[in-house]
A and B are shown apart, each in its own frame.
Chain A
């Protein structure tokens, strides 16, 4: 198993010095995938050309050509990120056999660095969910306990890392969808600052909240991947003026003198006792590394979930209007259908969670309700930003649990949408305000993973990764399991 779980850094240097063949490594990972997929179900589609692409890397290494920072590294990509020629379904019937004619910018960037796209991972349909149970292709299981959820919506990506079915992964995070599965699967997942990574090619769900982010089994790996995918993109006008970032160079500098706040509201009501204690223990560890810890309160947090879901659902109802069954996806011949009859029938192919969110989004945006919900939600957003800006004037980082609970059983919350939404309580603030947040494996309750969440101010990824790295060095927990 050790050979299959090499760090990206280690793997790529061994490939570059010829001691490991990329083709051989990719083949072995694919063997592993074959072995465990019936149990875990991380993937929806595998890349038939992966071995061929890895072979090319080996050739380039032999002939001394530039191969890139991720040469030969097998990467799992969440199936809501477009990959040219490789089916991209968003785990939905609506895009069941959609093959994008273009690459998302992040995919171009990864391929430019020599990464091998191994396949497309399972998610909640259109990234709407916290457990990967809402996939049209069936749920992904948590490799640590296959009767439990891996988290979501990037559950497939997180599970692929924990089950050694990939070295790195891409996820997307709208309200916690990278961090939640990272926490539930004991891997590292980062939601970058809004605008740091291009969303071109990410199938829209809630475009003012979502972002693509790196996932891996170590902070080092996540930092490397982030360095490869971050940066301004002319195809996405919401990207920031940032280029050529290297998040690995200062990662070992430690956190002496760093001022950290532990968020009171996130470790009290409704949080599992063991989870809360774990965060306190983590705080002590961080203190022993030279950081100072104090308890702080974020007053506007009480409105965070209501604000998040109002905005997210409103944007969903708008963004999913494009699925008319005519231009892409669903094959339903319009012959014989009247205008409205066609659309209502075609669009009935959305799953239940998607339908729910579209209807609520439609409700909050209807005339008469706009001021009551959507406008208020956007005002709460301003309030949160102001409050956080004030906090970050005095403190450098914040810590909290990523999830208030440990992974629960598959099927446990699926019939109670509101209960499901409550699980996002600790993660949505980062999306509402655009600040970066990372989840790092912290501890286990019995055999179930608990993640520590660290948040920073806008564009503070370097500090965030430094803190996560420092914590990792004094807090060794398992990141991979033989399913």
Chain B
């Protein structure tokens, strides 16, 4: 039901490289797991509102700027000045 092509595509969407062996193993496992998730097909839930959060988040704080004391750039491995090095966009 879930094909190798589909799994290859999923890996691509999530930007992860898979070896041929991995593709084979994962396809079997993903198929099994999705089959189990198909349990959800058994219920028809037309009238139930999907729950995204337990409470309604309606209180907003004022948009105040608070300067961060931490040096968040300290964790960047490949940085130059205040810039982060990234791969070339084709």
Contact = CB atoms under 8 A, between A and B. Distances in A.
| Interaction A to B | yes
Interface of A: 84, 98-102, 194-195, 208, 234, 237-238, 240, 302-303, 305-307, 309-310, 317, 321, 326-328, 330-331, 333-335, 337-345, 347-348, 350, 352, 355-356, 358-360, 362-364, 366, 372-373, 375-383, 385, 417-418, 421, 433-434, 458
A356 B51 CA distance: 25
A395 B49 CA distance: 25
B82 interface: no
A298 to B, nearest CB: 14
A463 B83 CA distance: 52
A329 to B, nearest CB: 8
Interface string B15-45: 1111000100010011011101111111101
Most buried by A among B15, B26, B84: B15
Contacts of A352: 22
B36 A418 contact: yes
A143 to B, nearest CB: 31
A238 B16 contact: no
A338 B87 CA distance: 6
Interface string B45-68: 100111111110100010000000
Interface of B: 2, 6-7, 10-18, 22, 26, 29-30, 32-34, 36-43, 45, 48-55, 57, 61, 70-72, 74-78, 84-90
A194 B54 contact: yes
Given A330-B77, A334-B85, A340-B15, 20 more contacts: A98-B75, A195-B54, A234-B61, A309-B36, A326-B86, A334-B78, A334-B86, A335-B85, A338-B87, A342-B87, A347-B14, A350-B16, A356-B29, A356-B33, A359-B26, A373-B40, A376-B45, A378-B52, A379-B49, A385-B54
B77 to A, nearest CB: 4
Contacts of A194: 54
B17 to A, nearest CB: 4
For the complex of A and B, list the 7 residue pairs with the smallest distance between their C-beta atoms, beginning with the closest: A378-B50, A342-B87, A101-B70, A379-B45, A334-B87, A306-B39, A382-B51
Contacts of A310: 37, 40
Nearest to A422: B36
Given A327-B76, A382-B49, A339 B70 contact: no
A344 B17 contact: yes
A162 B84 CA distance: 44
B48 A356 contact: no
A305 B45 CA distance: 17
Chain A interface, >50% SS class = helix
A339 B26 contact: no
Contacts of B39: 302-303, 305-306
A417 B85 contact: no
A380 B49 contact: no
A309 B61 contact: no
B26 A356 contact: yes
Contacts of A334: 78, 85-88
Q: Which of B40, B71, B72 is the most central at the interface, judged by chain A CB atoms within 10 Å of its CB? A: B40
Contact of A359 (B7, B32, B70, B90): B7
Given A317-B14, A327-B76, A376-B43, A363 B30 contact: yes
5 contacts: A309-B37, A333-B77, A339-B88, A358-B14, A359-B10
A338 B37 CA distance: 36
Contacts of A379: 45, 48-51
A338 B75 contact: no
B75 A341 contact: no
Contacts of B26: 355-356, 359
A372 B41 contact: yes
Nearest to B61: A234
Contacts of B30: 356, 359-360, 363
B76 A383 contact: no
A342 B29 CA distance: 26
Nearest to A310: B37
Nearest to A344: B17
A102 B70 contact: yes
Contacts of A195: 54-55
Contacts of A237: 57
B74 A380 contact: no
Contacts of B51: 378-379, 381-382, 385
B51 to A, nearest CB: 4
A338 B85 contact: no
B40 A306 contact: yes
Contacts of A421: 33, 36
A382 B48 contact: yes
